[in-house]
Structure 1
């Protein structure tokens, strides 16, 4: 799976990460952070001083309002800069203004909560973040430059220390860039109530599709159980009656035996299909029991270590069950593994799953290993995943799904 963030790239491929574009993207993120932070300080100081000076003549409110609104520009620039180390675009949380004119725009922006979060982020960025960016860059590159410039025979240990710091700089820079980006997303990502109308409709439409697929799956399972399966049972009874009418030694006996065998195989396959469409153990006993039941019938040994504080919401429970099933199917088809493990825990409104196998590794979405299908299932659950699958194995699928227990 192609990494979506700098942190994912560093965690999935610690060595090949050095030759990728991610260290350079992280460096560009911090370097531009210094520039943007310094500019924000200049604008804030100028606006604040002008506002306080002019406040005595009752016109100081305009510069102060300008300081607040300038944070919108800073936040917009930050959202664009985040694309350097996080490929998932962040939606604009500001709502559209119904009335034309600058007065309506200013009034709308000042009444939005996101504007004040952006102001807080700009203050934090101006007061601390860009200084930390500068400090990390100075430590990673300035310190080695100083040690090299002052190196002589008596101070060669400092030169060695500078070389070590320089060699570690891609990881140092990327680690701070990832932490800074996570903090920026905390301030700037839209809350549920701030999503645009079109995005809310997308979420509602996706929820309707999931409900529709669930209902259709249940309908197909019921039709197969009440229709095709019952017809196979009736056909078996008919073949049994035919056997009673055939005299002993008839050449039709062998053909009838083969027909009964094929009917039995078809019946077993249909029962497996019905159980897979709507497993009763999932509805009756929950996700843990359903995964353990599926693992018990899996062609390779699977250790299930799944602990949950209760029953998940029905949609999430069903989605996670089929996600795990598809991941296990990929292991059986593509990995050549002898053992597999399903590990799951619930932490702070986040379901964390790790599915591991000791197979050949080299899992790649482009090679048709089924990872694309898993990504599609996760999109429906608002989840994310990381894959570590070096050639020779092992393969680790790390999944995070936001959810709440009722």
Structure 2
């Protein structure tokens, strides 16, 4: 048994003639003839004025006005209605292709129910139109030639039963004298079956090439992936802001109230009381916890970033860095979209953390500049260099976060330094 996914593979197998593939190919071509006949009739009818105009030009005469009008009308009809014909034809052909190719062929796009005119902007629509035009132009002569060859084959096979038939200038009587032609017909059967299989395989390859999810479908998929990643990043930032708000408005206020009550109780309690020492220790731990919580809230989303903007948040970030950091962030930059500010801030925070932990640097610089409609953030240090995203320094996560925001991250870190991290948003 021949186990092949599509006809082209089956043709290369020596068992091809002993399978159902030749008959599937013949059925595929027969249905093609039924489909292409009205399509070719309409297309060639619209092309007649063009043929007439071409004939006039060849003979050195100018086409008449009525011919020019018919040419314009035909072009307008083809440009307007060809997608409406080609898309249903493409859907039918994708289903029919299963006769000779079991591999799935997904439609590149769906027509919007709210705005059907969007189909004219899809590359795959015009690939379907091209398929319909190629089918209408070239399938009829190929199928006619195939029909002539099949008729010739049938004539050879049944020649003994024909009273008289002509082969070119040769007139042959039926009967025993035609038996050699019958033998020739039998010998030619494998060749005809391979020819039919080759034509069907070529037709299937054309359909798969033009009617599948080409660059148009791939772009749609990439766009959807990019948009879903951006939505995830936005949802993450929204959740981060919610946690920061809950901690700031809830837990921090409660802890502040608790610390005040402990301090007041500590003042009212005599120093020689047995509870004075434990109460003082609890008060000190509450104050330390307030500092920890404030730093935690700041790490989730600094209040400066929300209130003042990215430039001020970068200055604040540099002030808290253990490595001396200079910041170049002009005030003229102004406020940026929230996603851009959040992404740039946390990239800078992670980069400066890496500088302090891994670079062995004595200084670093942070530069924020405008670049057209976006911004460029650069973090440079004078450390040892050799930063490797695969070493677990968080650079891969930064690159993913920047990409989710629609930007890109560039890194230059030769051995011996310096290291330059550039983010374009």
TM-score by length of 2: 0.48
- The runs of at least 4 aligned residues of structure 1 exceeding 6 Å deviation read none
Residue in structure 1 matching 2:338, options 314, 317, 326: 314
Query: Which residue pairs with 1:371 in the alignment?
Result: 395
| Alpha-carbon distance in structure 2 between the residues aligned to 1:353 and 1:106 | 52
Higher Cα Rg: structure 1 or 2? 2
Q: Is the partner of 1:311 in helix, strand or coil?
A: coil
In 2 relative to 1, CA 58–374 (structure 1 residues): closer, same or farther, beyond 3 Å?
Answer: farther
Q: CA deviation at 1:320?
A: 1.2
Residue 258 to residue 359, structure 1, CA distance change in 2 (3 Å): farther
Structure 1 counterpart of 2:370: 346
Deviation at 1:380, TM superposition (A): 1.1
Question: d(CA) in 2 for partners of 1:268 and 1:393?
Answer: 36
Larger RCO of the pair (alpha carbons < 8 Å, separation 6+): 1
Contact 1:221 / 1:277 at 8 angstroms: preserved in 2? yes
1:360 match: 384
Q: Which aligned pairs between 1:145-224 and structure 2 lie closer than 5 A?
A: 196-224=219-247
CA distance in 1, matches of 2:395, 2:300: 21
Query: CA, structure 1 residues 391+259, in 2 after alignment: closer, same or farther (shift >3 Å)?
Result: farther
What is aligned with 1:255? 278
Q: Answer yes or no: is the 8 Å Cα contact 1:97–1:104 preserved in 2.
A: no
SS in 1 for 2:387: coil
Counterparts of 2:55 and 2:292 in 1: how far apart (Å)? 85
Whether contact under 8 Å (1:378, 1:384) holds in the other structure is: yes
Q: State the shift of 1:101 in Å.
A: 7.2
Q: Tell me the CA shift for residue 247 of structure 1.
A: 3.4
Is the counterpart of residue 395 in structure 1 residue 402 in structure 2? no
Indicate conservation of the 8 Å contact 2:230/2:405, yes or no: no
Matches of 1:346 and 1:207 in 2, distance apart? 22
**Count of aligned pairs between the two proteins:** 237
CA drift at 1:362: 2.1
Aligned equivalent of 1:234, options 232, 241, 257:
257
Q: Call closer, same or farther: CA 1:345–1:103 in 2, change over 3 Å.
A: same
Contact 1:97–1:105, Cα closer than 8 Å, also in 2: no
- 1: CA distance between counterparts of 2:128 and 2:372? 43
Which runs of no fewer than 5 residues in structure 2 stay unpaired?
1-52, 59-120, 136-214
Deviation at 1:238, TM superposition (A): 3.5
Picking from 284, 301, 305, the partner of 1:278 is 301
Pair 1:217–1:105, CA change in 2 (3 A): farther
Q: Residues 348-387 of structure 1, C-alpha deviation per residue, up to 9 Å, x if partnerless?
A: 3342222111223221112211211211111112222222
Residue of structure 2 aligned with 1:96, choices 115, 124, 130:
124
- Secondary structure of the corresponding residue to residue 96 of structure 1: helix
Listed as ranges, the matches of 1:119-134 within 5 Å are none
What SS does structure 1 have at the residue aligned with 2:124? coil
Which residue is equivalent to 1:323? Answer: 347
Separation in structure 1 between the aligned mates of residue 132 and residue 317 of structure 2, nearest angstrom: 59
TM-score normalised by L of structure 1:
0.50
